[in-house]
Amino acid sequence: MSCHSTGTDTKIGPPWGGLWGSEVELADGRTVTVDEAYLRRSITEPDADVVAGYPLSMPRVPLSDEEVDALTTYLRWVSGDESVSGGRS
């Protein structure tokens, strides 16, 4: 939790609160919507879509498909996605 916050506090990496479904500007000037595909790619290829204003400091971590599924579900939940079981209000 030293790199990302589950709320909206800025740390080394972008905060996760409210992330799901939001639009983020990338370092290359593109804007993308945070969805399942974006989260999976950010987890598995952290250097592919770097968020503007943040350094590329996320390491590549070898994860199984099941671990990536669990992480994307958690990120959706902590972002407030109501379609995830136990979603926040």
Query: For residue 51, what is the DSSP state?
Result: B
Superfamily holding 1-89: Cytochrome c-like domain (1.10.760.10)
Rounded to whole angstroms, how far apart are CA atoms 41 and 32? 12
Q: Enumerate the domain spans of the chain.
A: 1-89
Query: For residue 15, what is the DSSP state?
Result: -
pLDDT in tens, 6-38: 666 666 677 767 889 999 999 999 999 999 999
Strands 23-25 and 31-33: antiparallel
- What is the model's pTM? 0.77
Rounded to whole angstroms, how far apart are CA atoms 43 and 79? 16
pLDDT in tens, 64-87: 999 999 999 988 998 888 788 654
Is the CA virtual torsion 7, 64, 49, 24 positive or negative?
negative
